[in-house]
Structure 1
Amino acid sequence: MTFIALTIAGSDSSGGAGIQADLKTFSAMEVYGASVITAITAQNTLSVKAIENVSPAMIAAQIDMVLNDLDVKSIKIGMVSCKDSIVAIADRLEAHRRRIILDPVMVATSGDKLLEDRAITALMTRLLPLADLVTPNIAEAALLSGMPRAKSFAEMEEQASIILHYGPRAVLMKGGHSAEKDSTDILFTAGGQPRFYSAPRLDTKNNHGTGCSLSAAIAAQVAIGEDMPEAVATAKAYLHGALEAADQLRIGSGNGPVHHFYKWWPA
């Protein structure tokens, strides 16, 4: 059986994040990847120079053509930088019900802003209610909850509770940008006990696309049929391996990508 996942995200011209990272991750996890491009970026490992959005009508058409034909089991949503595009995606996904992993991409690893201010409300009110899982990092969780960046478990739990109020079934609060010795992600569900996923923090500057790759890996495992806690655990282990092997690659002079295919070819 061929398992299929769909990524709805922006293109990264350097190949380390966005659509390119998602498709690499799907392939590494033995899942066929389809794609809907929301934006084209001019970027490299140092910065994002320009973003050009694909029209909402074209985004909607891509979604319809893929989902009317392919047996897509899960959908990962990444960078959507404008309100009209978010509305178009929400409208189509309400018509085509699938399991949805939402990575609320708002800021690039380089610090460049990727989401318009007026789009944040649309993301919260239209996409969050459709999501089976939302995967914010510390900065994104603060924006979504309207609170300062969390510095403790209690603050992360409070922010997750606020995000869950908008309707997603689960929130994975990522700890990759924290200052702790281990990188710990916490899975929160309404009324359920939090689950902790920890891995040793790795000293590498080649971490471009980590958020994209983690959410894509979760989507791939959901497409295969894993339940959400198991999918998160599998994805976390995969990303740790990709980060551990990242310094084998020599890509650009800034924040290079993780090594998506570390199991198959050493650099």
Structure 2
Amino acid sequence: MLVLLCLFLVPQLVFANDTNLESELFGKFTVTIDDRVNVFIQPAIQEDEEVYLPLRSLFRIFGAQIAWNQNESTTTVLADEKEYLLPMNLTNLTANINNESVISLKMINSHAYIPVSFIKEIMNFDFSWDDESKTLYAVRLPDTATIFINLPEAPKYRVVETFTGIASWYGGKFHGRMTNNGEIFDENGFTAAHRTLPFNTYLRVTFLQKNESTIVRINDRGPHIAGRILDLSKGAAEEIGLRPHGLGEVKIEVLANYKTDD
């Protein structure tokens, strides 16, 4: 499979958040996989002959899922039916692989950016960058076993319960307030409110209309309106395409053994 990623040239000079390095920022970029075209409004960055793209959007387009554990500063990547932990240092803007390999990160508008060369560590792709046309060619490698062998593999989670119902989302005036488990609510995080599930339970939530999924953690109580079974944070609702609809039918899978470090 040949993947073609094109960066439309709309260059300007910007400074990434939390860094003094000057970077070349390009406008929207497009990822084409077979006949499917995906256009992103987030910019791409080129610095020191390396191209950086938004971590969450980039992995999603290659079929991976991302979950951020704020308490442990760890990103979990679910790719090719396997799960990997990437401890991230947002102060020094680095991510660590297997306590040995360190990659640099960029921050733009609170979004983490990773070098495209890092994707093959997770998604098993080989890359070729054409600087003249600003085009990235990605070809999937045939054997994934050797790529994954050096990455720390987390224990697989189990789905212990599945149910469906109507979910809504909340944010706005609730942002910065205290949740029922004592945390400060972050509308951009990946959390949810449920009436009875224990706090810190992880759920995989799928918006059935879009067939998009994300993983959230229960840290609040709700919804407080009859007929609804889950209140998602704004960030989680945006991730699965539910936010513009206000509410929608979702499938909820309760995950066991999702957290690996207590």
TM-score scaled by length of structure 2: 0.26
**Larger helix fraction of residues:** 1
Greater C-alpha radius of gyration: 2
Instruction: Choose between structure 1 and 2: higher strand proportion.
Output: 2
